[in-house]
Amino acid sequence: MAFLPSNNSKLTKFTDYILEMYMHF
């Protein structure tokens, strides 16, 4: 679910982590 530009790879990773945790929780 990376809807952000590849430029913000760090932010994308953070968002993916949050989304994954939220989905699993």
**pLDDT tens digit sequence for 1-25:** 555 555 567 778 888 888 888 887 6
> Are 2 and 18 within 8 A, CB to CB?
no
Domain boundaries, the chain: 1-25
pLDDT computed for residue 14 by the predictor = 87
pTM for the whole structure = 0.43
Sign of CA pseudo-dihedral 9, 14, 19, 25: positive
Whole-Å CA distances, 8 to 1, 2, 3, 15, 24: 14, 10, 10, 10, 24
CA gyration radius for the chain?
Answer: 9
At 1 the three-state DSSP class reads coil
